[in-house]
Amino acid sequence: MTLTSKEIDTVISEVAGEDVLELVKVLKGKRNISEFKLAQDAKQEINIIRNQLYRLYDSNLVSFTRKKDKQKGWYIYYWTFNDGRVKDLRTLLKKKRLVKLKERLDKEQKNQFFLCKNACSRLTFEQATDTYYKCPECASLLNQQDNLKTINHIQSEIEILEKEVRINQKN
Ligand SMILES: [Zn+2]
């Protein structure tokens, strides 16, 4: 399964920030490009490029080699984008989302919820008793909410994600 460029961009933005996308465009399909060349090609200051590279490196989206500049005595870093990492990260993000969704499902199943008719607040039973069943924002009376639809919605989202994660692990 190959990812579309939009899917790839979404994963990269989520783990490293949307601002790195321009730099990734410059990095893609090449190997061992010096950070100075990157700064030049991405038309950014070297400090900004370095910051973006570190964020990409944090998620193993880039790797580097370094060489000592014999005349100046300092190291120059050469960077390569790790294409194959994007898929793993995508699966990882899905697993994280699954954990969160399961926590939410658990909360929905274990609690009763109370909703303001103006939709400014949604409180648990404990919170609603604290405010005497009045909305903390507009003081309207709160109504108990039937959250079956919410539960069903979360459950189907979990099902879809679990299936996707299984497929990704097979490939
Ligand atoms: Zn309200």
Q: Which residues place a Cβ less than 5 A from the ion ligand 1? A: 116, 118, 120, 135, 137-138, 140
| Structural domains present in the chain | 5-83 (1.10.10.10), 87-170 (no CATH)
Distance 157 CA to ligand 1 centre (A): 29
Distance 113 CA to ligand 1 centre (A): 14
C-beta contacts of 33-39 below 8 A and 24+ residues apart: 33/78, 33/79, 33/80, 34/76, 34/77, 34/78, 34/79, 35/76, 35/77, 35/78, 35/79, 36/76, 38/79
Low-confidence ranges of the chain (pLDDT < 70): 1, 171
pLDDT at residue number 168: 75
pLDDT at residue number 143: 96
pLDDT at residue number 2: 84
Distance 145 CA to ligand 1 centre (A): 14
Distance 140 CA to ligand 1 centre (A): 5
pLDDT at residue number 171: 61
Distance 128 CA to ligand 1 centre (A): 12
Distance 115 CA to ligand 1 centre (A): 8
